[in-house]
């Protein structure tokens, strides 16, 4: 193969596909970026077999062909060629020549035959939604995915499509985050569990909030194509937890509270509570006030937060991290907090509508 | 003590002094910030005994007094109070009350008597120079300080004042960086070895390039006061290496080269050379060109760089890090490179004047 292309285009494409480079040393060719010159384009592909990213750029193709370069070194090298016209040629076996200005460098290659091919006929199902909505529902759920390998299915977000709505759900055993948005089109009702890493990489590809995003599916695979970049990912297989039965629907206490005020209080409380193993913050809700309390050997915090309240007084405690992580991403000015008892899950919802729901388990404390 | 002050002022002051907080657990009081209310000011001090930073802010003092709070927690806590009026009171033993809006928190304290006092009569000697000049000479030398504890004196930069000029020198056994600037005033010819950490903290205090910076000295101590902040630091004691005898004055090869072009070439070369333990880049200087070469199992680079050249052809190799680190901070468009042989030090100087000098030892390679 032999091509001439713009250094900035090349560098940008390499950066995009590099996110899918394999890092385990099990198969060295997966640490490579596959290059293919055809027609008037250069296509770059990286894959770790779970996630594949492919990007096509314009190139002057002097000779069609393909090769595989070591991804890490190639990425670093072309990043330093953004101001140059770059000629890539792989005439010799196992050697890529890189020419720019008066210089010529060479890089080791792998055989293109060894590089795994990815099936791109992924069109059994699809949904289409606004990029801004996709970003919102991913942001509001993905943080609650499990980091733990013991239950791999919880490392993904469940996407359920029904009635022109998508419901995204993530949970890790301590909390559950759910977010909903409209879809502007979909092929059929469906469920898919999308790995959190895949969602983060899709987010990175999205450039224009007002544009639509189309996601297509096969049984075990997802594909997104946008701005000349194609991302293909395995889905997580298995049954997701029946989340609906976890979420209580009746409550004895209902609070309406300002998000920023509560977030600031809990963050201050968590500073002084942090000397313990986990940072526990207590809500003492009585007489139309919510006292945010924390205590450790370093000191103690006691902040009254104004709330609109219906129902019974209650004292309940949480790992402060689970409260602050969620409050930081809520864009609403006010939220509703629903409680039953010091040992029952707390539910947070928007004041109007059902765009999100957050469930967090309390920490048992001594009265 | 009891004071009321602005949360943003307090947070800013805590952030500034925190840089001097002790991190070793040998003496817990050194992990504290000393607070003193007097007149209409609150003074905050942190020290690890090597470096002391003190900052005074305006406060409404309701009762004079002093205490010491745990620095890390106090810093994090007041950072979250930037929008509040804050009342601090230390009526009870070992307890600081922090009041803001309707809330009241408490933090553990140490006894103020345990906090070390720093002598601030530091006025045997001084020099005055423009802040921009100080920044320049520190930036051009401090990166070459040794990181190694085996020769503590090399963890500092030698400052020599003579003839209304300051010469700053740092070296680590592989390279030497020297920078010069004018001083607008000084008390006497003097030498001081200033720890690199102290220089970095002084840099952080400087806000206006055009303002003057005054540094005062005792035998073993330095003091800088600017914008209500005072920094006091121990100097490194002992004889600095006689750097003048290290620097050759005669050369067989003299090159004039564009800084950005050379830097880009060496950075590209270092990418492909990096698979080795250190990244070695070779300069093959012949026929009015300087070939930047690198070779490893990953690939090889060969870039001709245009130079103006006088003297003999030479081939010489360097640890690429030592070249790129310096080229990144040079502000000049062109530099002079002086060489003698493949095993003799390389000297880099400005095309005009003597504002800086960089010496780097080559790496021996097989021909």
What is the structure's pLDDT at B275? 66
Q: Kindly identify which residue of chain B lies nearest to residue A83, measuring between CA atoms.
A: B264
Q: Kindly identify which residue of chain B lies nearest to residue A75, measuring between CA atoms.
A: B271
Residues in B closer than 8 angstroms to A76, CB to CB, are 271
Q: Tell me how far apart the 2 most distant CA atoms of chain B are, in Å.
A: 81
d(CA B340, CA B285): 12
Query: Is the separation of the CB atoms in A1 and A44 below 8 Å?
Result: no
Query: Which one of A279, A293, A299 makes the best mutation probe of the B interface by having the most chain B beta carbons within 10 Å?
Result: A299
Query: Is the separation of the CB atoms in B44 and B112 below 8 Å?
Result: no
Q: How close B272 gets to chain A, by Cα (Å)?
A: 7
Does residue B338 carry a pLDDT above 80?
Answer: yes
Instruction: Name the residue among B282, B267, B258 with its Cα closest to residue B321.
Output: B267
Residue range B164-200, pLDDT digits in tens: 999 999 999 999 999 999 999 999 999 999 999 999 9
Residue range A314-333, pLDDT digits in tens: 999 999 999 999 999 999 99
Instruction: Name the residue among A346, A314, A160, A154 with its Cα closest to residue A246.
Output: A346
Instruction: Give the model's confidence band at B367: pLDDT under 50 very low, under 70 low, under 90 confident, else very high.
Output: low
Indicate the residue of B70, B106, B299 with minimum beta-carbon distance to A108.
Answer: B299
Q: Kindly identify which residue of chain B lies nearest to residue A266, measuring between CA atoms.
A: B80
Rounded to an integer, the average pLDDT of B68-78 is: 94
d(CA A81, CA A86): 8
Q: Kindly identify which residue of chain B lies nearest to residue A267, measuring between CA atoms.
A: B80
**Collapsed DSSP state (helix, strand, coil) of residue A114:** helix
What is the structure's pLDDT at B288? 85
Contact A77 B272 (CB under 8 A): yes
What is the DSSP track for A297-315?
A: SSEEEEEEEEEEEEE--EE
Q: How close B134 gets to chain A, by Cα (Å)?
A: 32
Does residue A353 carry a pLDDT above 80?
Answer: yes
Q: What pTM, to 2 d.p., does this model score?
A: 0.90
Contact B302 A73 (CB under 8 A): no
Q: Kindly identify which residue of chain B lies nearest to residue A260, measuring between CA atoms.
A: B80
Length of chain B: 367
Across B80-228, the runs of DSSP E, i.e. the strands, are 85-89, 95-100, 103-110, 125-130, 156-162, 165-171, 175-182, 185-186, 190-195, 212-217, 221-226
Residue range B62-71, pLDDT digits in tens: 999 999 999 9
d(CA A323, CA A345): 13
Instruction: Give the model's confidence band at A94: pLDDT under 50 very low, under 70 low, under 90 confident, else very high.
Output: confident
Instruction: Name the residue among B200, B195, B197, B177 with its Cα closest to residue B238.
Output: B195
Does residue B25 carry a pLDDT above 70?
Answer: no
Residues in A closer than 8 angstroms to B103, CB to CB, are 265, 301-304
What is the structure's pLDDT at A275? 66
Q: How close A228 gets to chain B, by Cα (Å)?
A: 28
Residues in B closer than 8 angstroms to A102, CB to CB, are 303-304
Does residue A211 carry a pLDDT above 70?
Answer: yes
Indicate the residue of A80, A302, A304 with minimum beta-carbon distance to B105.
Answer: A302
Contacts of B354-358 spanning 24+ positions with Cβ under 8 A: B354/B180, B355/B179, B355/B180, B355/B181, B356/B140, B356/B177, B356/B178, B356/B179, B356/B180, B356/B330, B357/B176, B357/B177, B357/B178, B357/B179, B357/B247, B358/B144, B358/B175, B358/B176, B358/B177, B358/B178, B358/B326
Across A48-152, the runs of DSSP E, i.e. the strands, are 51-58, 60-63, 65-70, 85-89, 95-100, 103-110, 125-130
Indicate the residue of A105, A298, A299 with minimum beta-carbon distance to B302.
Answer: A105
Residue range A147-182, pLDDT digits in tens: 988 999 999 999 999 999 999 999 999 999 999 999
d(CA B297, CA B301): 12
What is the structure's pLDDT at B191? 96
Query: Is the separation of the CB atoms in B59 and B37 below 8 Å?
Result: yes
Query: Which one of A102, A109, A110, A271 makes the best mutation probe of the B interface by having the most chain B beta carbons within 10 Å?
Result: A271
Rounded to an integer, the average pLDDT of A102-119 is: 91
Q: How close B81 gets to chain A, by Cα (Å)?
A: 8
Chain A positions touching chain B (beta carbons under 8 Å):
70, 73, 76-77, 80-81, 96, 102-108, 264-265, 267-268, 271-272, 274-275, 297-304
Instruction: Give the model's confidence band at B227: pLDDT under 50 very low, under 70 low, under 90 confident, else very high.
Output: confident
Instruction: Name the residue among A338, A180, A179, A348 with its Cα closest to residue A263.
Output: A348
Give the H/E segment covering residue A161: strand A156-162
CB contact burial B109-146 (16+ within 10 A = b; e otherwise): bbebeebeebeeebeebbbebbbebbbbbbebbbbbbb
Least confident of A108-112, B7-11, B200-204: A108-112
d(CA B194, CA A364): 54
Contact A264 B80 (CB under 8 A): yes
Residues in B closer than 8 angstroms to A300, CB to CB, are 105-106
A362: which residues sit within 8 A by CB, 6+ positions away? Answer: A316, A317, A318, A342, A343, A344, A345, A346
What is the structure's pLDDT at A21? 92
Does residue A247 carry a pLDDT above 80?
Answer: yes
Task: Dig out the tokens for A39 from the structure.
Answer: 């027609």
Does residue A367 carry a pLDDT above 80?
Answer: no
What is the structure's pLDDT at A243? 96
What is the structure's pLDDT at A25? 65
Chain-centroid distance of CA A203 in Å reads: 7
Residues in B closer than 8 angstroms to A103, CB to CB, are 265, 301-304
Q: Kindly identify which residue of chain A lies nearest to residue B98, measuring between CA atoms.
A: A301
Q: What share of chain A is helix, strand, coil (3-state, %, to 5)?
A: 20, 45, 30
Q: What share of chain B has pLDDT > 90, as a percent?
A: 85
Instruction: Name the residue among A116, A96, A121, A120 with its Cα closest to residue A106.
Output: A96
Rounded to an integer, the average pLDDT of A69-86 is: 93
Does residue A227 carry a pLDDT above 90?
Answer: no
Q: How close A302 gets to chain B, by Cα (Å)?
A: 6
Residues in B closer than 8 angstroms to A274, CB to CB, are 73
Query: Which one of A70, A298, A302, A305 makes the best mutation probe of the B interface by having the most chain B beta carbons within 10 Å?
Result: A298
Does residue B78 carry a pLDDT above 70?
Answer: yes
Chain-centroid distance of CA A341 in Å reads: 33
Query: Which one of A105, A269, A293 makes the best mutation probe of the B interface by having the most chain B beta carbons within 10 Å?
Result: A105
d(CA B69, CA B86): 15
Indicate the residue of B76, B80, B301 with minimum beta-carbon distance to A105.
Answer: B301
Contact B73 A271 (CB under 8 A): yes
Mean per-residue pLDDT of chain B: 94
Task: Dig out the tokens for A229 from the structure.
Answer: 């970049």
Q: What share of chain B is helix, strand, coil (3-state, %, to 5)?
A: 25, 45, 30
d(CA A168, CA B164): 69
Residues in B closer than 8 angstroms to A264, CB to CB, are 80
Instruction: Give the model's confidence band at A276: pLDDT under 50 very low, under 70 low, under 90 confident, else very high.
Output: low
d(CA B208, CA A211): 45
């Amino acid at each position: 193969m032999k091509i001439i292309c713009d250094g900035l285009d090349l560098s940008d494409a390499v950066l995009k596909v590099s996110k899918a480079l394999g890092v385990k040393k099990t198969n060295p060719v997966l640490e490579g970026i596959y290059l293919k010159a055809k027609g008037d384009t250069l296509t770059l592909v990286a894959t770790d077999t779970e996630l594949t990213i492919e990007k096509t750029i314009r190139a002057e193709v002097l000779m069609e062909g393909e090769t595989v370069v070591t991804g890490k070194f190639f990425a670093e090298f072309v990043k330093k060629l953004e101001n140059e016209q770059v000629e890539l040629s792989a005439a010799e076996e196992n050697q890529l020549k890189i020419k720019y200005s008066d210089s010529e460098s060479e890089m080791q290659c792998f055989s293109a035959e060894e590089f795994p091919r990815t099936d791109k006929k992924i069109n059994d199902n699809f949904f289409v939604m606004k990029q801004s909505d996709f970003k919102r529902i991913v942001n509001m759920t993905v943080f609650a995915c499990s980091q733990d390998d013991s239950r791999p299915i919880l490392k993904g977000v469940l996407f359920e499509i029904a009635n022109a709505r998508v419901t995204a759900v993530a949970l890790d055993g301590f909390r559950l985050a759910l977010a909903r948005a409209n879809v502007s089109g979909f092929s059929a009702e469906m469920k898919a569990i999308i790995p959190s890493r895949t969602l983060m990489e899709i987010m990175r590809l999205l450039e224009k909030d007002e544009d639509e995003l189309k996601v297509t599916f096969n049984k075990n695979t997802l594909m997104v194509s946008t701005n000349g970049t194609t991302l293909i990912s395995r889905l997580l297989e298995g049954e997701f937890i029946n989340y609906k039965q976890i979420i209580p629907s009746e409550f004895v206490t209902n609070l309406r509270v300002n998000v920023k005020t509560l977030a600031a209080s809990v963050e201050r409380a968590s500073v002084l509570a942090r000397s313990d193993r986990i940072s526990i913050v207590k809500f003492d809700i009585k007489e139309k006030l919510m006292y945010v309390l924390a205590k450790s050997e370093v000191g103690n915090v006691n902040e009254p937060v104004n709330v609109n309240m219906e129902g019974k007084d209650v004292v309940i405690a949480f790992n402060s991290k689970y409260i602050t992580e969620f409050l930081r991403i809520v864009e609403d000015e006010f939220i509703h907090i629903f409680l039953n008892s010091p040992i029952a899950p707390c539910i947070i919802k928007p004041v109007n509508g059902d765009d999100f729901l957050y469930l967090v388990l309390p920490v048992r404390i001594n009265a």
